[in-house]
Amino acid sequence: MPPEKTIQELLNFSLINIDKPTGPTSFQVSQFVKNSLKLSKTSHMGTLDPQVTGVLPITLGRACKLSNYFMHKDKTYIGIMRLHEIVPEEKLKKEISNFIGKIAQLPPVRSRVKRQLREREIKSFEILEIAEKDILFKTEVQAGTYIRKLIHDLGEKIGGAHMLELRRTQAGIFSENDSINLYDFEKIIQNEDELRKILIPAEEAIKKVLPTAQLSQGANLKQILTGKPLFKTDLSKIPEEETFALFDKEKFIGVYHKVEEKDIIAKAEFVYN
């Protein structure tokens, strides 16, 4: 973390990895962080149902504009599903294996998205422990996968099943090992040194989800900070990827997407000015 940044500068362009408790909605947790830090804006990345716990990254201030670059990453969950009847372990494992890979999933009735079949990928789905009808499981899935619906659909193959408990342990680059619960959060924000420790500078986080490029020495930084498109001469090396984060040494400039418009090679999606 750059030591020259004031705490207010950090608060205006950082992220916090919150360990959401059971009870509040994701929006309520985001609002609690916003009000506690006296910020004008926060946003959460990846909605968790009120009864679901775990990793809920919150963007602060202008970092909210970068949410999309962090949100659409794989998620990992640990949960307990209850079978409606006892199923032999081998049969259960066989049915679970049929859900690994790309599946078609219809969002739940109460979801806010349009109810139409969507393709989602289940990266892994394993049994950790069995206690009669209660199954402790772990699954890694593509962003946008509904775990409750996954369990329901599995249940239709084995005589019924529903989810008892669910916890998100990983969301992209954010892990439960680095998260902070709201109780500790309330105490930490009273101490600036401790608060700095839990703030993740957005310019450091973006390096973990996007390739980076460096501004060339001859580039006009002042013009680029006003949103000027990038030309070949503006970059020391053109990245292969379509979307990338641009830096001037350690200074974060913005996020750019490649285009094919005469001499222009990329346009800004976000500029940190």
Count of CA atoms in the C-beta half-sphere (13 A) of 128: 10
Q: Letter for the amino acid at 56? A: L
Tokens matching residue 272: 């940190």
pTM to 2 decimal places: 0.91
Check: CATH 3.40.50.720 for 7-71+174-206? Answer: no
Give the C-alpha separation, 33 to 234, whole Å: 39
| Second-level CATH architecture of 210-271 | Roll (2.30)
Closest C-alpha to 269, from 167, 259, 231, 260: 259
- Tally Cβ neighbours within 10 Å of residue 217: 7
Q: Which fold has domain 75-156?
A: Alpha-Beta Plaits (3.30.70)
* Length in residues, the chain: 273
Of 174 and 262, which is predicted with more confidence? 174
Any alpha helices (H) in the chain, and if so which ranges? 7-11, 26-37, 67-71, 89-97, 147-158, 182-188, 192-198, 202-205, 221-224
Handedness of CA 61, 64, 65, 70 (dihedral sign): positive
- Tally Cβ neighbours within 10 Å of residue 159: 11
Contact 37, 31 (CB under 8 A): no
pLDDT, position 112? 67
Contact 108, 149 (CB under 8 A): yes
Per-domain residue ranges for the chain?
Answer: 7-71+174-206, 75-156, 210-271
Candidates 19, 49, 248, 263; catalytic one: 49
Angle between helices 89-97 and 147-158 (to 10 degrees): 130
Confidence of residue 261 (pLDDT cuts 50, 70, 90): confident
Residue 163 in this model has a pLDDT that exceeds 80: yes
Residue 1 in this model has a pLDDT that exceeds 80: no
Closest C-alpha to 89, from 118, 58, 124, 128: 128
Summarize pLDDT for 200-238 with one digit per residue, the tens.
999 999 999 999 999 998 889 999 999 999 999 999 888
Q: What are phi and psi of 80, to 5 degrees?
A: -120, 125
The percentage of residues in the chain with a pLDDT greater than 90, rounded to a whole number, is 85
Contact 139, 76 (CB under 8 A): yes
Give the C-alpha separation, 148 to 77, whole Å: 11
Contact 10, 202 (CB under 8 A): no
Tokens matching residue 105: 């999933």
Contact 77, 149 (CB under 8 A): no
CA 8 to chain centre: 24
Active site (annotated) includes residue 49: yes
